[in-house]
Structure 1
């Protein structure tokens, strides 16, 4: 059997930043910490961490 069904995921860094901004607004003055584990589940730890570092 051949692997004919290929899939991929693209991370929208703008949407990721927006989601972090919304989370920050909702937590008020509390500190926020982003945890990136398992290579961002295969999405690229460095890119995801750099994107979140701007907001967190």
Structure 2
């Protein structure tokens, strides 16, 4: 079974080179799904990469 790598909000924003505000907007718009565990928010690395593929325009 493959383990799921979770990133914090800060790690995700740094990985994508975006602000926390942009990350929040993307989460609210459904561009990037987020997961709450307790009072913390996490993002799955695989879903971040899938979202990047969807957002990248094709030539």
Fold shared by both chains (TM-score > 0.5): no
**Higher Rg:** 1
Structure with the higher fraction of residues in helix conformation: 1
TM-score normalised by length of structure 1 = 0.30
TM-score normalised by length of structure 2 = 0.29
Higher relative contact order (CA 8 A, sep 6+): 1
